[in-house]
């Protein structure tokens, strides 16, 4: 929150801005105005906050800064319309966000077709690296470096809005990191998205590898944030091989928490499953998945595997191949009256984005300066 002894306002909630404002001897409602400038309008300069008196703006710039991410690079994929954004943090670590067009975004059957067409989903990162080390995930191979602050999470959307001049309607916490391990910042960022950036809570999805206590806590928030669980297998032995976190929190614990989340919120949970050849696409596995899916109202999102061979995975990760039986597996699930959604082949590229975010940590100041120029041009 501090930058050069000054308070960074980016990422502060209305409540926290109220404290800053009050400390400066101004009425608390000024926080509402600042909140709007920061998050609804995305301004980065106190001078632009024209409904605040000049002396107050000067006072603000003496004690506070608006310090966000530095955009480094964006890559548009003409094949599926996704755009990946690479950002530098103030300590020069890197993160990525992915803008996903309507047809291929994380789908939700409850929303209408017309709704689908105007939908623009941003997949945001919550940590630099990740400590969970799932065998199929690129981010895991980086190890864990640190949590993002609420400001670093929120600024991903502000920057993308500024760079593309498009309105983001949905947020998925499916980028780098495990959002529920950075719970407070993720919740603060969600609150800011809703109050300041016009994104309804039901259009925010948190995806987790499965931390039961945090899932329960999310259920008790009394928010409409959606829960997606990266399941990948309904058999403990298999899931533990794919996702080491399952050894600490096996399926029964996870399911108990998911069930409580449902009881509290009445919201269907999404299970994300990548089918791997010979690992979790067998009769026994699919049978177990069908039984598990009957326990709590859910939908199943089948994600095509995107290879992470570029990270040189070892152990089980090295041998993972996508299942050739995808269509048949989805048919089986549907025959059992389960809602199973498959991302289109174009979606594969997106999964690449959402499951493949591993950023090389090399510095490139020249590149950074170049893109900084670009960003200010399009702002």
Of the candidates 38, 274, 289, 371, which one interacts with ligand SAH according to CB under 6 A?
274
Q: Which range touches ligand SAH (CB under 6 A), out of 63-71, 217-225, 305-313, 370-378?
A: 305-313
Bridge-based pairing of strands 64-65 and 6-8 is: parallel
| Residue 137 binding ligand SAH, by CB under 6 A | yes
- Binding region for ligand SAH (CB under 6 A) out of 39-47, 114-122, 161-169, 298-306: 298-306
SS3 92: coil
Closest residue to ligand SAH in the complex (CB) = 355
Q: Does 323 bind ligand SAH (CB under 6 A)?
A: no
By beta-carbon proximity to ligand SAH, the closer residue of 52 and 234 is 234
Shortest reach from residue 208's CB to ligand SAH, in Å: 5
Catalytic residue among 26, 96, 272, 349: 96
Strands 83-88 and 70-76: antiparallel
- CB nearer to ligand SAH: pick between 86 and 186: 186
Rounded to a whole number of angstroms, the minimum distance from the CB of residue 283 to ligand SAH is 23
124 binds ligand SAH (CB under 6 A): no
Task: Indicate the residue among 64 and 303 with the shorter CB distance to ligand SAH.
Answer: 303
CA distances (Å), origin 311, targets 127, 184, 187, 360: 18, 30, 31, 10
Residue 308 near ligand SAH by CB under 6 A: yes
Distances (CA, A) of 212 to 245, 251, 260: 11, 10, 10
How many Å separate Cα 342 from the centre of its chain? 19
Site string for ligand SAH, 182-211 (x = CB under 6 A): -------------------------xxx--
Partnered with residue 74 across adjacent β-strands are 85
Q: Are 142 and 360 in contact (CB under 8 A)?
A: no
Binding window for ligand SAH (CB under 6 A); candidates: 59-67, 79-87, 257-265, 353-361: 353-361
Closer to ligand SAH by CB, 40 or 310: give it.
Answer: 310
Q: Which helix (H) or strand (E) holds 187?
A: helix 183-197
Round to whole Å and give the CA distance between 119 and 103.
9
Q: Which of 86, 354, 358, 359 binds ligand SAH (CB under 6 A)?
A: 354
Look-up of token digits 């980028």: 175
Applying CB under 6 A, does 351 fall inside the site for ligand SAH?
yes
Q: Phi then psi for 254, rounded to 5 degrees?
A: -60, -50
217-231: buried (b, 16+ CB within 10 Å) or exposed (e) per residue? Answer: ebbeeebebbbbbbb
Cβ burial, residue 126 (10 Å; 0-12/13-18/19+): buried
Q: Interface with ligand SAH includes 289 (CB under 6 A)? A: no
- Active site annotation includes 354: yes
Phi first, then psi: give them for residue 36, nearest 5 degrees: -65, -45
DSSP 322: B
Q: Which of residues 219 and 355 has its CB atom nearest to ligand SAH in the complex?
A: 355
Q: Which stretch binds ligand SAH (CB under 6 A): 39-47, 218-226, 255-263, 303-311?
A: 303-311
Q: By CB under 6 A, which span of 83-91, 189-197, 350-358, 367-375 interacts with ligand SAH?
A: 350-358
Among 68, 212, 313, 355, binds ligand SAH (CB under 6 A): 355
d(CA 342, CA 327): 9
Cβ closest to ligand SAH, residue 80 vs residue 272: 272
Please state the separation of Cα 326 from the chain's center in Å.
26
Backbone phi and psi for residue 4, each to the nearest 5 degrees, phi listed first: 50, 45
Give the CA angle between residues 101, 103, 105 to the nearest 5°. Answer: 60
By beta-carbon proximity to ligand SAH, the closer residue of 7 and 125 is 125
Per rule CB under 6 A, is residue 356 in the interface with ligand SAH? yes
Rule CB under 6 A: choose which of 96, 272, 281, 285 binds ligand SAH. 272
Would you please indicate which residues are annotated as catalytic (active-site) residues? Answer: 96, 354
Please give the residue ranges that form the binding site for ligand SAH (CB under 6 A): 136-137, 174, 178, 207-209, 230, 272, 274, 303, 305-306, 308, 351, 354-356
């Amino acid at each position: 929150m501090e930058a050069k002894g000054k308070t960074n306002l980016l990422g502060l909630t209305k409540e926290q801005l109220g404290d800053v404002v009050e400390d400066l001897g101004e009425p608390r409602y000024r926080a509402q105005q600042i909140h709007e400038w920061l998050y609804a309008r995305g301004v980065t300069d106190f001078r632009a906050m024209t409904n605040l008196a000049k002396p107050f703006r000067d006072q603000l710039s003496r004690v506070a800064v608006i310090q966000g991410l530095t955009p480094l690079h964006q890559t548009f994929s003409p094949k599926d319309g996704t755009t990946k954004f690479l950002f530098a943090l103030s300590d020069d670590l890197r993160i990525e966000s992915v803008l996903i067009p309507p047809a291929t975004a994380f789908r939700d059957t409850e929303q209408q077709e017309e709704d689908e067409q105007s939908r623009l989903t941003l997949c945001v990162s919550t940590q630099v690296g990740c400590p969970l080390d799932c065998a199929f995930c690129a981010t895991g191979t980086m190890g864990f470096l640190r949590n993002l602050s609420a400001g670093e999470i929120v600024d991903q959307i502000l920057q993308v809005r500024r760079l593309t001049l498009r309105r983001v309607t949905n947020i998925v916490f499916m980028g780098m990191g495990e959002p529920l391990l950075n719970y407070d910042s993720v919740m603060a960022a969600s609150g800011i998205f809703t109050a300041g950036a016009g994104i309804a809570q039901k259009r925010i999805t948190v995806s987790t590898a499965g931390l039961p206590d945090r899932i329960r806590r999310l259920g008790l928030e009394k928010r409409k944030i959606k829960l997606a669980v990266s399941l990948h297998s309904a058999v403990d032995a298999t899931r533990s091989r794919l996702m080491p976190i399952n050894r600490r929190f096996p399926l029964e614990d996870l399911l108990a928490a998911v069930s409580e989340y449902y009881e509290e919120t009445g919201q269907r949970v999404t299970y994300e499953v990548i089918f791997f050849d010979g690992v979790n696409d067998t009769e026994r596995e699919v049978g177990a998945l069908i039984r598990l899916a009957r326990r709590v109202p859910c939908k199943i999102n089948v994600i095509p595997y995107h290879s992470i061979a570029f990270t040189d995975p070892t152990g089980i990760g090295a041998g993972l191949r996508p299942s050739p039986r995808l269509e048949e597996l989805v048919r089986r699930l549907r025959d059992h009256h389960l809602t199973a959604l498959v991302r289109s082949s174009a979606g594969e590229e997106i999964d690449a984005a959402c499951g493949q975010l591993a950023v090389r940590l090399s510095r490139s100041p020249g590149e950074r300066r170049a893109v900084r120029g670009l960003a200010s041009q399009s702002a």
